Structure formats: C-alpha cells, structure tokens
Amino acid sequence: MTTQTIEDLIASHPFFIALGAEFTRFVAGCAKNRYAEKGEYLAHEGDEAAALFLVRRGKVSIETNIPGRGGVMVETLGAGDMSGWSWLFPPHKWTFDIKALEGTSFVELNGKCLREKCEGDPRLGYEVAKRLAGMMVDRLRSTRLRLLDLYGDHSA
C-alpha cells in the first residue's frame, strides 16, 4: 500500500484538479490532513474564518443555530466537495457552522497562509479565485432552484 502525500490528496481533490504540480506543491505548504468525529464542528459562525476544507470522505452539514430550534441544516456536503470561502473575504468570519455528520476525512488549508500565497502570486490567486467563483456559482444555482420549491403544490 502506498501512502499518499498531502500533495497527492490536494491534487486528486476535484476542487484543485489540474492545478499543476508547481501550484499544488505551493498550496500544500498551507495544508494538513485531518479527521473529524461525528458531531465535531469544523467551524463556528462568527469565529475567524481561517480555513478552506476539502472533504475526502464522510459528510458535513452547513448549518445555523435558530433560537428554539437548535441547529438547522441548510445543506450537506460530501466527498469531493469543498467548504469555506470566508477566509478570502473581509471580515474573515464564518457565516455558518460546519459540522461533521459522520466521521469525516478532509484536508484543511490554512486560510491566512493561502491568502498570502494568492496575494504573493497573482497567477495562483486568479486560479484559486476562479475555482472559488465556480463553486459559488454552483451553490447559488442550487440555492435558487431550492427557493423555487419545485416539488411543492403550486396548483392553487
């Protein structure tokens, strides 16, 4: 059995697929391999947003706490998904909670480190920004479709 390096894990994740060896090595300097137990929070709303998460296995939820209702799940993400872009945008605070719904393996990229590398190398910065923008477009489209309540009874 061969052991995968952190660079391998990043390079094989859909978010960073075809990033190129040079950038992958560069980004890997900000990364560590992590595991979260079921129920463990990866991020708390309002805390400093200091990470980008590449989910490798397992499942996390994006959720928010509503008084009287507890944690309300907005979306679930699984293997191959990424989560966390608030590290790129001021004020660098999480806007939702991220919680592991089952044992979850992921690569955590330090947001401050990645931000500095993106600002130091505009080619990398543009590449990461494009990928983030693409992800946001997907999530926005999904949210809009759900807002339409397509499966509801609209016959009345």
Note the residues at the interface with other proteins (CB under 8 A).
Answer: 14, 59, 61, 69-70, 72-76, 78, 80, 101, 138, 141-142, 145-146, 148-153, 155
Q: Which 3-state string (H, E, C) describes 23-39?
A: HHHHHHCCEEEEEECCC
Provide, rounded to whole angstroms, the least separation between the CB of residue 62 and other proteins. Answer: 9
Provide, rounded to whole angstroms, the least separation between the CB of residue 42 and other proteins. Answer: 17
Minimum CB distance to other proteins smaller for 57 or for 141: 141
Contact 84, 52 (CB under 8 A): yes
Minimum CB distance to other proteins smaller for 32 or for 57: 57
Provide, rounded to whole angstroms, the least separation between the CB of residue 123 and other proteins. Answer: 25
Minimum CB distance to other proteins smaller for 116 or for 138: 138
Provide, rounded to whole angstroms, the least separation between the CB of residue 116 and other proteins. Answer: 29
Q: Which residue has the tokens 């979850």?
A: 104
Contact 87, 142 (CB under 8 A): no
Tell me the C-alpha distance between 99 and 81, whole Å: 14
Provide, rounded to whole angstroms, the least separation between the CB of residue 110 and other proteins. Answer: 25
Tell me the C-alpha distance between 135 and 82, whole Å: 8
Minimum CB distance to other proteins smaller for 74 or for 126: 74
Q: Which residue has the tokens 């907005």?
A: 74
Tell me the C-alpha distance between 69 and 92, whole Å: 27
Minimum CB distance to other proteins smaller for 16 or for 26: 16
